[in-house]
Amino acid sequence: MHQITLIPGDGIGPSIVDAAVSVIEATGVKIQWDRQLAGMAAVEKHADPLPEETIESIRRNRICFKGPLTTPVGGGYRSVNVTLRQTFNLYANVRPAISFEGTSTPFQNVNLVTVRENTEGLYAGIEHFIKVDAEKLGAESIAIVTKKGSERIIEYAFQYARKTQRKKVTLVHKANILKCTSGLFLEVGREIAKGYPEIEFEDKIVDACSMQLVMKPDVFDVVVTTNLFGDILSDLAAGLIGGLGLTAGANIGTDAALFEAVHGSAPDIADLGIANPTAMILAGAMMLEHIGELDAARKIERAVRKVIRDGRIVTPDLNKNSSYGTQHMAEAIIRELIE
């Protein structure tokens, strides 16, 4: 029996999390869900978007399945996602972008995974205004790249490639300009690559990489990069396969792992019952893979892909003539799964 912390989240969160839980349970994997609050739901009950009880539960279970959270505006609340990342040292953000047959996108041959460093870089939060001279105000932001942090994420990318039989790791940087930060990241990458002779290694400058991603995405396999470049490139990759509604992400850390959809709480469609549950369901498949339930993970992915390929019982974002909603799509996936 696996113990997993479950956070339903805000907006469309509870409906897509319910859909994903019913799909996960249909695989027969035994899970004891430890339901906890975060986000607006937690603010309403505990006046805290991330109550200590929720943190304790993740600390105990070390695995968390989380719906999207609405970030409260104002009120001095800290960002839940950033706090979770820091508390559990979630250093690797892993996002597969694999084309779905049956979706109308410019490419049908995307099959790549971005591995983004999640704790350093320009997101270290060292930013302030400065006085340039008597009249001019300026601002500066400091990027932190450490050898240890770079080793940890690049090793993770190579191990991931090895485990998933992927053939190539592309390290993305801007070392021609950012000679220290990007330069160090690249140097560490070149060193680590020597330990993985069976995996091809290449490096690309981020601007050239962006152009190639939108012209020839099939040349990419595993992409590893620093925080800001990873943030942008992983959304770009999500766009290549049909958008955020289809993309799942894992946040892997030394103390816990957290699985979620990449999109937010979609307040504009929160009460309509039409949110696409795919990203959340695929986050569930990534979680099952992480806890060693490989068979169940593959079954879910196959069933999701079949339902999207058929294009009939899908949410309106995938087929504008569809009158089916979140629950119908989840039920169609479960029927495929148990057939």
Q: How far is the CB of 235 from ligand NAD (least distance, A)?
A: 10
| b/e map 131-164, b = 16+ CB within 10 Å | eeeeeeeeeeeebbbeeebbebbbbbbbebbeee
The residue nearest ligand NAD at its CB is: 264
Listed in sequence order, the residues at least 6 apart from 151 whose beta carbon sits closer than 8 Å to its beta carbon are 188, 192
- In the structure encoding, which two tokens stand for residue 203, read together? 């490096």
Q: Does 118 bind ligand NAD (CB under 6 A)?
A: no
| Pick 17 or 266: Cβ nearer ligand NAD | 266
Instruction: Give all strands (DSSP E) within 197-295, no chain letters.
Output: 200-205, 222-225, 248-252, 257-261
Q: How far is the CB of 24 from ligand NAD (least distance, A)?
A: 17
Helix spans in the chain (H)? 13-26, 40-46, 52-61, 80-87, 147-163, 181-193, 206-215, 227-240, 278-290, 294-310, 326-338
Q: Does 95 bind ligand NAD (CB under 6 A)?
A: no
Q: Does 93 bind ligand NAD (CB under 6 A)?
A: no
For the segment 174-203, give every residue that binds ligand NAD (CB under 6 A).
none
Which of the ranges 65-73, 99-107, 168-176, 233-241 carries the binding residues for ligand NAD, by CB under 6 A?
65-73
Instruction: Note the Cα 299 to chain centre separation in Å.
Output: 20
For the segment 1-20, give every residue that binds ligand NAD (CB under 6 A).
12
| Pick 28 or 267: Cβ nearer ligand NAD | 267
| Pick 239 or 264: Cβ nearer ligand NAD | 264
Rg for the chain, CA atoms, rounded: 20
Per annotation, catalytic residue among 10, 34, 174, 299 = 174
Count the Cβ atoms, other than its own, within 10 Å of residue 21: 20
Per annotation, catalytic residue among 91, 123, 160, 324 = 123
Q: How far is the CB of 156 from ligand NAD (least distance, A)?
A: 20
Measured CA to CA, the distance from residue 7 to residue 5 in angstroms comes to: 7
Q: Does 68 bind ligand NAD (CB under 6 A)?
A: yes
| Residues contacting ligand NAD: total by CB under 6 A | 20
Instruction: Give all strands (DSSP E) within 235-337, no chain letters.
Output: 248-252, 257-261
Q: What is the DSSP letter of 14?
A: H
Q: How far is the CB of 265 from ligand NAD (least distance, A)?
A: 4
For the segment 21-40, give every residue that binds ligand NAD (CB under 6 A).
none
- In the structure encoding, which two tokens stand for residue 170, read together? 């592309």
Measured over all CA atoms, what is the biggest interatomic distance in the chain, rounded to whole angstroms? 73
Ordered DSSP codes for 142-200: EEE--HHHHHHHHHHHHHHHHHTT--EEEEEE-TTT-TTHHHHHHHHHHHHHTT-TTSE
Task: Candidates 2, 25, 48, 71: give the one binding ligand NAD (CB under 6 A).
Answer: 71
- In the structure encoding, which two tokens stand for residue 127, read together? 């930013």
State the binding string over 290-309 for ligand NAD (x if CB under 6 A, else -).
--------------------
Task: Candidates 124, 228, 236, 244: give the one binding ligand NAD (CB under 6 A).
Answer: 244
Task: Candidates 15, 27, 61, 70: give the one binding ligand NAD (CB under 6 A).
Answer: 70
Per annotation, catalytic residue among 45, 207, 218, 310 = 207
Whether 207 sits among the annotated catalytic residues: the reply is yes
Q: Does 85 bind ligand NAD (CB under 6 A)?
A: no
Count the Cβ atoms, other than its own, within 10 Å of residue 270: 16
| Pick 100 or 201: Cβ nearer ligand NAD | 100
| Pick 256 or 279: Cβ nearer ligand NAD | 279
Whether 174 sits among the annotated catalytic residues: the reply is yes
For the segment 251-270, give every residue that binds ligand NAD (CB under 6 A).
260, 263-269
Residues that bind ligand NAD (CB under 6 A): 12, 68-71, 81, 244-245, 260, 263-269, 275-276, 279, 317
Query: Which are the catalytic amino acids?
Result: 123, 174, 207, 231
